[in-house]
């Protein structure tokens, strides 16, 4: 995933210092045959969008897996991980499929598809917006290369816009090189993307492969030239998706530069640790010791030895016990395997081929556990829907029919003496 040089993840500066977003209504544009503009018919449709957004990319390797539709799984992942925008490759969809998926009741996905009519089962890319987070009323899309490259300009927060270039590059090195050169030529007549992401079918650094291997020089040079022209840099995180595919999901997060720094917040004890019997016995033991010490302090009290300091020490020990119990009881197998994977890949005492085999086995375990967690969450949700659906007393059922408004930090307030036409704000 490549991001504009003047954007920063996890607290990125926005809007950028250079005008990378172009207002298409402010200048004349050449005739573009493959432009799809989704405009709202109502004048008032201002969606309350969040000042931070998570953006991801995934090669989904087709729609179906063992008669299971991957799009229902994708809807779940977007909901659980609060993804605002996700770029997909190898969608293997038709325009009829796109229309049908966009009309699915209860889906939070707004799909913008680009296909190659001659190879619908081999290509296909899509930009998918989370309707609960993003404003889908004014999305401008330009197909640079059918089924391979699509440019989308999306309203983000307040009046800011985000331009995203989704890529699915050819696998053949010669075609790959020509692809990047064609993108470099066609992008000159359109807004520069703030983010370029997708499946590039090459790596720029040999260390990104195991065992390390350099891709074709001409293809990597063409990609590097495009990155320099667009002013992009690498920023991404990788993780299993839970969807049956042989690719990992990459993601990053952008936020408004005006947002203040917000820490992790006050620690709260997970409710599930209350079911731990050993924890209850240990805290009860600490409580008995506290009671005995407080009773003894009636005759022997000092500034260091008194009920207040004893109670503070009791709380500190109890919290530590709860933290340690939570770490043991929360499924941590994936975290342990990730640590084991890094150690194995960085262990220079192991031969390279053996490291590759060990890393492959560990990654398979991580992917398997991620899919198990994904399916378990899916089963739990289905059970909850079956139990509480269409119940007049169920808050869960009532929430399903409501729009989930994002909650954002208030960063400025309009002054009382200012007008709506010419507002001034107190930050």
8 Å CB contact between 56 and 85 = yes
Residue 71 has pLDDT above 50, yes or no: yes
How far apart (Å, rounded) are the C-alpha atoms in residues 311 and 117? 72
- pLDDT at residue 25, rounded to an integer: 31
Percent of the residues in the chain that have a pLDDT greater than 70, as a whole number: 81
Interhelix angle for 352-388 vs 70-81, to 10°? Answer: 90
How far apart (Å, rounded) are the C-alpha atoms in residues 410 and 397? 30
Q: How confident is the model at residue 332 (pLDDT cuts 50, 70, 90)?
A: low
Distances (CA, A) of 135 to 38, 86, 153, 159, 185: 11, 14, 11, 11, 30
Mean pLDDT for all residues in the chain: 79
> How do residues 221-237 score in pLDDT, each as one tens digit?
999 999 999 998 887 88
Percent of the residues in the chain that have a pLDDT greater than 90, as a whole number: 27
- pLDDT at residue 393, rounded to an integer: 67
- pLDDT at residue 190, rounded to an integer: 92
* Stated pTM of the model: 0.68
- Cα–Cα–Cα angle for 90, 95, 97, nearest 5°? 75
Residue 389 has pLDDT above 80, yes or no: no
More confident call, 284 vs 276: 284
Residue 419 has pLDDT above 90, yes or no: no
- pLDDT at residue 47, rounded to an integer: 61
How far apart (Å, rounded) are the C-alpha atoms in residues 150 and 195? 12
């Amino acid at each position: 995933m490549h991001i504009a040089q003047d954007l920063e993840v996890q607290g990125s500066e926005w809007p950028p210092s250079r005008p990378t977003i172009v207002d298409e209504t402010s200048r004349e544009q050449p005739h573009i045959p493959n432009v799809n503009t989704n405009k709202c018919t109502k004048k008032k449709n201002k969606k309350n969008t969040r000042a931070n957004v998570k953006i991801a990319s995934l090669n989904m390797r087709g729609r179906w897996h063992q008669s299971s539709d991957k799009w229902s799984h994708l809807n779940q992942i977007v909901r659980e991980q609060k993804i605002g925008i996700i770029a997909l490759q190898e969608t293997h969809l038709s325009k009829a499929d796109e229309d049908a998926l966009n009309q699915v009741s209860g889906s939070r996905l707004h799909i913008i598809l680009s296909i190659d009519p001659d190879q619908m089962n081999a290509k296909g890319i899509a930009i998918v917006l989370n309707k609960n987070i993003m404003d889908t009323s004014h999305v401008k899309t330009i197909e640079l290369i059918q089924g391979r490259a699509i440019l989308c300009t999306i309203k983000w927060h307040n009046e800011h816009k985000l331009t995203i270039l989704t890529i699915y590059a050819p696998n053949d090195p010669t075609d790959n090189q020509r692809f990047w050169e064609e993108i470099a030529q066609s992008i000159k007549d359109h807004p520069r993307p703030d983010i370029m992401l997708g499946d590039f079918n090459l790596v720029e650094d040999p260390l990104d492969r195991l065992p390390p291997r350099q891709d074709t020089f001409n293809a990597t040079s063409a990609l590097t030239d495009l990155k320099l022209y667009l002013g992009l840099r690498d920023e991404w995180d990788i993780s299993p998706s839970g969807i049956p595919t042989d690719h990992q999901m990459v993601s990053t997060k952008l936020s408004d530069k005006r947002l203040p720094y917000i820490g992790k917040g006050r620690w709260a004890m997970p409710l599930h640790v209350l079911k731990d019997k050993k924890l209850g016995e240990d805290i009860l033991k600490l409580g008995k010791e506290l009671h005995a010490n407080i009773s003894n302090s009636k005759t022997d009290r000092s500034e260091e030895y008194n009920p207040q300091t004893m109670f503070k020490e009791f709380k500190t020990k109890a919290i530590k016990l709860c933290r340690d119990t939570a770490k043991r009881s929360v499924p941590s197998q994936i975290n342990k395997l990730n640590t084991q994977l890094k150690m194995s890949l960085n262990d220079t005492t192991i031969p390279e081929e053996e490291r590759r085999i060990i890393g492959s086995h560990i990654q398979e375990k991580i992917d398997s556990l991620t899919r198990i967690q994904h399916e378990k969450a899916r089963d739990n949700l289905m059970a909850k829907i079956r139990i509480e659906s269409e119940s007049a007393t169920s808050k869960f059922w009532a929430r399903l029919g409501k729009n989930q408004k994002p909650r954002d930090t208030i960063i400025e307030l309009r002054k009382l003496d200012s007008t709506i036409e010419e507002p001034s704000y107190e930050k």
